[in-house]
Structure 1
Amino acid sequence: MKAWSIISYLVIGILIGAFLGIILQKSAQVDQLFRRYGILSTSTIKDNQSKPVPANFQGNISLFILAGQSNMSGSGKLTPASSITHPRVFVFGNDYRWHLGKEPIDSPSGQVDHVSEDKSAGVSPGIAFATELLKYDPELIVGLIPCAKWDTTIQQWQKNLSEDTLYGSCLKRAYAASPMGEIQGLLFFQGESDALNPQAYPSRRFFPNQWADKFVRLVKDFC
């Protein structure tokens, strides 16, 4: 009788453990925590990330970083045409997964790096840029890496390797996307914030007269 009681407790424990395991697997936060601390294997992560990308494309994608502020993140109105995809254009999303490229490229869905989260991202120059490239080279495979953030100044893009900064987060994403191909360039669309009237925003720092120097420094840091 005692043996049967022990077996019963074991069976109940296994069932409860399995049930809790299912709940944990369905939790996005726990899933991200597992990934961050390496509890999920790298191969599993890579398989999940690369599913939308055909096997013969993997490792051959021309990667482009999209950085800057709102115009790069996307402030255009979303329309049914915005959801049209191209079989040779992909996006390494803010969820650190690969997707077929469509607007909004900077979608906050599943955002990992909250430092650049834009909840109202719309149509950006990204897809238009990619499809224009394909007109010149139809065999190209384009991968876009969104890193932009609304309402940011040139100072906020200066070199800082912390992943809690725009620069550091951008490098982190580029590194995470790099197994799929090679970084070919960085598109930087920013400047409006530094042109604002400082008297209207006394708590913020703007650098209109230093913008060119800071931009040159940014380019050198990325190179």
Structure 2
Amino acid sequence: MSTARVEAEPGYVLHVRAYRDTSAIIDVFSRHHGRVSAVAKGLKANTKGRQRWRADLQPGNLLFLSWSGRGELKTLSDVQLNSRFPLKGDALYCAFYVNELLQRLLHPLDPQPDIFSLYGQCLLGLSRDPEPELALRHFEFALLNQLGYGVDFSTLDDCPAASVGFHPEQGFLLPELLPPDSPRFPVADLQRIASYDFDADSLKVAKQLSRLALAPLLGGRPLNSRKLFMQARKRSYE
């Protein structure tokens, strides 16, 4: 049975959705309790306390959260802001994407302190680096490793081919073992990815590779955050 009351637990907001008339369900990622869902009662109320909660319960904020309840859905009792990661533009949409990955891939109430630390590093990178792709690719491959589905780049040592394919279950494959329409990745770019020594070409390859590696874990369902990002990009060009 899960802990009845938790006080001042470090955590980040992953998602907020409306619940009944004046409340909301907050999905958070906490350091010691993993992914937790809690009802924020009266969140829409026009009181100073709930106005502060609404301001603080935003993506990119590190919070101290308190909740109670023995079931899977908790009741939020306190929210205190610890620090903010200023996320704007593409960086904010990247954070939405990372949040959705965690919602989809982590089990409720399953502590993942190492992933919690990786997530904080990712938010820091998104808030500081003018190229958010770097922080995303670092996080994706580190997340795969933590979940036990890491890409094994060591099989590329002494690889006789200039390019290879990839299968999530089989790893890297020589060209002669690939179907004709399978993507091929330059080994030189893959070795840069393995060393986290990205350039423009290896970043593009890393994006393709991470999508292939994550696809089976996501069950073939599209990510809403990608759709939101594409819609925002389309509006910016109109």
Scaled by the length of structure 1, the TM-score of the pair is: 0.25
Higher relative CO (Cα under 8 Å, sequence separation at least 6) belongs to: 1
Larger radius of gyration, structure 1 or 2? 1
Scaled by the length of structure 2, the TM-score of the pair is: 0.24
